[in-house]
Amino acid sequence: MRIDVNNVKPTDSAKRQMKDHLRHTWLGWLAAFAIVGILVASGYGRLEPSTASNLVLAITALVVIWYTIETTRLRRDAENRSKREATPVFYFDVKLRDTNRMLSQDVHKAGPSVFIQQGVHLPFRFIIINHTSNPAYLKVAIRLKTAVGTGLQVPEKDYGGERVWHITPFFNLDGWFDMVELLVQAGHGASPNDWPQASVTLNVQVDVYDVRGRFIDTLRKEYTVRFDLKGCVVECWPDTQVSQLPPIPPDKKLGKNLLLAELWPSGTGDK
């Protein structure tokens, strides 16, 4: 592959470093010329020696103050850059499975509680990818809001908001969760008449923690899930805003309880 070096553009970080270097160089030379000018003027008798000395000290003090401020800013920028580089970057999404329509028809005929007992599910895909080499810990909570109520998977399961996921570098998971379970938790019974006849809201919250268990950020998405008159899931699309359900507070004590937490095994596969 041939690379045209003439068309290679510097990154924003390189541009910022270049501007900082030029600014430091010009201000340094400006201060030096000012001091030399003062000394020359003093030598020719145009300035009193005491005045010239005071001016040189004042310029030197300003230069020291300016360099102190710049050094502090550069150190802060370096710390922020290191923090950004150490922060994992995640992508996650929820999608319908290919078998979802068929299973949703079966569930509608017999009722969700019956099919939970018989081991038949209404699976939705949950995809999450770590795009960086930085490990992390996650907590994933998936909630369903319907006209009847709000359903959350039981806490001891992977998508109930309590299980701690151990995320390795470049982690890639294509798993699934059960919509039937969320419907039952939301208050829908086994009768087909209790099945949602309109769109419902699926809320996904992912809390991100660093390797020491310190909270980093909360990632949230909401999806509109639409059922047809037969109780089949026909569409699932992400909303532009997350507003239907309030966020779940993060676990501020995870770092202290990390050794006691039940970690979800790391790796790649179907969960």
Over the stretch 74-130, which tens digit does the pLDDT of each residue have? 888 888 888 888 888 899 999 876 654 445 555 545 544 444 445 556 778 899 999
User: For residue 220, what are the β-bridge partners?
Assistant: 205
**Which one is predicted more confidently, 221 or 13?**
221
* pTM (predicted TM-score): 0.67
- Amino acid 71: pLDDT: 82
- Residue 136's nearest CA partner among 97, 180, 167 is 167
> How sure is the predictor about 4, in pLDDT bands with cuts at 50, 70 and 90?
very low
List Cβ neighbours of 31 (8 Å cut-off, separation of 6 or more): 59, 60, 62, 63
8 A C-beta contact, residue 117 and residue 165: no
**Which one is predicted more confidently, 104 or 177?**
177
What three-state secondary structure class fits 139? Answer: strand
- Amino acid 153: pLDDT: 73
**Which one is predicted more confidently, 93 or 5?**
93
CA dihedral 237, 115, 177, 258 (to 10 degrees): 150
- Token readout for 37 is 């000018």
> How sure is the predictor about 208, in pLDDT bands with cuts at 50, 70 and 90?
very high
